[in-house]
Structure formats: C-alpha cells, structure tokens
Amino acid sequence: MWAYESVFYQIYPLGFCGAPFEQDNELQHRILKVIDWIPHLNTIGINAIYFSPVFDSDTHGYNTRDYLKIDPRLGTNEDFLLVCNKLHEHGIKVVLDGVFNHVGRGFWAFQDVLVKREASQYKDWFYRIDFGGNSHYNDGLWYEGWEGNYDLVKLNLKNPEVKNHIFEAVDYWKRYFGIDGLRLDVAYSLDENFVKELRNRCDSIDPNFFLLGEMLHGDYNRMMNQQMLHSVTNYECYKGLYSSFNSYNLFEIMHSLNRQFSSENWTLYKNKHLLSFVDNHDVTRVASVLEKGKHIPLIYLLCFTMPGIPCIYYGSEWGQLGDKRDGDQGLRPCFDQPIFNELSSYIATLTMIKRGVKALQYGSFKVLALTNRQCVFERVFENERVIIGLNIDEQPFDCTMWGEHLKLLDLMNGREITKSGPMHLDANSGYIWKVLV
C-alpha cells in the first residue's frame, strides 16, 4: 500500500484558505491557493495530502450540505479538480475527509424533513427522528445529533438509500477528482457493517484505495482489519509523545510502542501502519504544548522513526503556535505563504530518511536501552537495520547498555562512524543510524 511509504501533510482548507466561518454562498476560488504551496510541499518531501472537509457545509466543514459539491467558499468542483491534477503531477496523493456519521442541518434531505415532516421520503435517512419531540432549534421534532450537537444530524447508516448515496458520492470523488483515499471522520462512531461495505466498494474501484479512520481509544483492531480500515489515527501515541517529553519520562511512550508494535505475541498492531502525528486541527499545536522549545525537532524525530505513517499539520513544520483553549478557529489559521526555517529543514531531512528507508516503513520495533530521559531502539526489515537514539536531557549521556561493535551511517548528516562500547548521546539530541556492518 502506497500510504505505508508516505509522509502526509494535513490541510484544513476552510482555515488555510481564509474562508469565512459561516456559509455565505458567495463563490470564491480560494482552493487554488493549494497549487501555490506545491513547491513548499516538494521542498519538505511531502507525497500525500489529507484534506479536511472540502464539500459544501453550514460552517466548519463537518456539517455537510452536499456531498457532490465543493464548498463555494473554496471554489468549484472544477477548481478542486485542477488542484488534484496539479498535486498528482508532482507525485502527491490526495486523501479526502469522509464525513459520513452525520450531516449539517442544511443538508438537502434534512431540509426536506423539516418542511414535510412525516410526509418526507427522507425521514428514515436520519437516526431516531421523533416528530413528537423538539431540540433547542425549536423545529417541533427531535433527532440525534453527534455527541449532543444538534448542528450535526446523525445519519442512519443502516438505510440502503443512505449508503447508496454515500457510495455514489465516493465513486464520483474517485472518478472525477481521482482521489487516492479517505479519512473517515469519527470512525469510532460508524456502523461497522457500513465500513465493511465501504471497504468492499472501494476495493472494487481501486485495490490501492486507502481508508484511514479517526479512532481515539480502545482496541483499534475493531475498525482496522482486513475487512475494514487500512489504518487509524494513533491517539494513544499522540498523547504519549508530548507527555513523555514534558514529564521527562520516555517510559510512557516506549510502553505504548512496545504494547502496540513489539515482536511479542500479545502485541496489538504488529505489522500494521497507524497514522502518527504530534498535532492536528483538533488539538493544541505541538509548539504550544511542549514545555521546551528545543524538544520540537526531537518529538518529530521520534514521530518519524517509530512505527507508523507520519502526518504534518500545515504550519507546524515551522513551529506555528496554536492553543485549543482559544477555540478551534485559532488552530486552523490562514497563512499568506509558507515559511521555511531551521525546523522545516530538519523535518525535510526526516521526510527524506523516512521515505528512503524500508526499515522505518516496515521494520520491527525493539527497545535496546531506556531511561527516563534517553532511549535507543531499533527497526529491522529484511537485511536493513536502523538504530534510533534520543536524549531529551540537558546533559550528554553515554549509553552504557550498548555492547556492540558497529559501523554506522549517520543518516541525519551522511557521516560514517564506527562504535564499540558506550554510545554517546549529546544533550537534547536525536540520531538515526543505519547499520553498515
């Protein structure tokens, strides 16, 4: 699967393009801005983009009005086709947000229900409508909103007409835009049979069509398996990453990685490829959540070298700040142009290494040495062995648990070294070594 060898870049289009929060139905061609960023994406080595919602919606994109129409605040279907074609010309895959658990109140079928009530042919498209109830919108009917949010009307994914409408929309996205995959919003809430049918439908269109699901807690295998999703968001390790740095306790993230990916029989996700990230459109940006700014490059190094598919949230590659406590819109800003700085260059190096080293894409995971502030682990695939060293302390460290005589290529700077005995780790430093002998 192409996604397992990719580095993703997430764009939240409505924010990225500076669109107004409320739907104003004024056609603007803002989505074409993405084309201007392609040189930047090429510079940092991106080969896949995940777009948060692009289809017509009431406000933030996750309250869809029409699955077949690009949001007019972003442009036309023809505009987005041009964007997809340009990205594909530069070797960049396109993954869209599939928001199938719920729609907006402006969704055409729900509007029909509000007008025609019991006489609407679409009344069974929505989950648990009660015409004897009410909501705070005072429509004279009650319906289930996602997690109590009545602006997000829950779809009845057991209804064959609803499934057919969604599947035909996906067919259209693939046929017209040439998309390469979907990220399923709130996958943890989706009907499992619906996801199985979606997988079958996508496989029949394109066996390499990638399905990623938003999962938070629990056993990810419930949705990530041969019949359903290829991958899910690794929120367990997202939390473990920043928490380990802030508490100077690398045991936390290494415990999660061992639990998920080690070679033991009880390992949960061995040989699977979860989406790894340090931030996204729903959480505080990493530059704001980490207590030590000097740890930002190191958390990216760990994110790129642990098992998984790394994903960068637009703007975070240059250290953009953003705090969830200030509201979602503050996490989803518009930038006039990209910034390429020392952090961006560091991430570009990580991207080049990740995309060029099979052991970092498919390799096993084994911890070789671990303290609160230092860790060394290895990734092995076929005859390729890579060793990663990390020191988040203010002082250098000699890893005395190291006992091998090795010839190594330092992949971060291209220098060969020969080591035996203790491995020296500089203060606040990270290393990626490829074993040559």
Does the pLDDT value for residue 154 go beyond 70? yes
Mean pLDDT score of the chain, rounded to an integer?
Answer: 95
Tell me what percent of the residues of the chain surpass a pLDDT of 70. Answer: 99
Domain 105-156 adopts which CATH fold?
Oligo-1,6-glucosidase; domain 2 (3.90.400)
Top pLDDT among 390 and 263 is at 390
Residue 403, pLDDT score: 59
Question: Which range has the worst mean pLDDT, 127-136, 230-239, 294-303, 305-314?
Answer: 127-136
For the chain, what percent of residues have pLDDT higher than 90?
Answer: 91
Asked whether the domain spanning 366-435 has the same topology as the one spanning 105-156, the reply is: no
Residue 392 has pLDDT above 90, yes or no: yes
Output the pLDDT for position 422: 80
Domain ranges of the chain: 2-104+157-362, 105-156, 366-435
CATH class of this structure's domain 366-435: mainly beta
Torsion angle of alpha carbons 74, 55, 93, 283, nearest 10°? Answer: 90
pLDDT-derived band of residue 400, with 50, 70 and 90 as boundaries?
confident
CA-only gyration radius of the chain, Å? 23
Out of 3.40.50.1100, 3.30.1330.30, 3.20.20.80, 3.90.1300.10, the CATH code matching 2-104+157-362 is 3.20.20.80
Residue 171 pLDDT exceeds 80: yes
Which pLDDT score is estimated for 216?
A: 95
Can you give the pTM of this predicted structure? Answer: 0.96
pLDDT of 411 over the 80 cut: yes
Q: Render pLDDT for 276-335 as a digit per residue (tens, 0 to 9).
A: 999 999 999 999 999 999 999 999 999 999 999 999 999 999 999 999 998 888 899 999
Higher pLDDT: 426 or 423? It is: 426
| pLDDT given at position 329 | 87
Which residues, listed in sequence order, are joined to residue 212 by a DSSP beta bridge? 183, 231
Residue 355, pLDDT above cutoff 90: yes
Specify the pLDDT at position 424.
86
Give me the pLDDT at residue 305, please: 98
The C-alpha atoms of residue 74 and residue 274 are separated, in whole angstroms, by 30
Q: Which residue has the higher pLDDT, 421 or 127?
A: 127
pLDDT of residue 399: 83
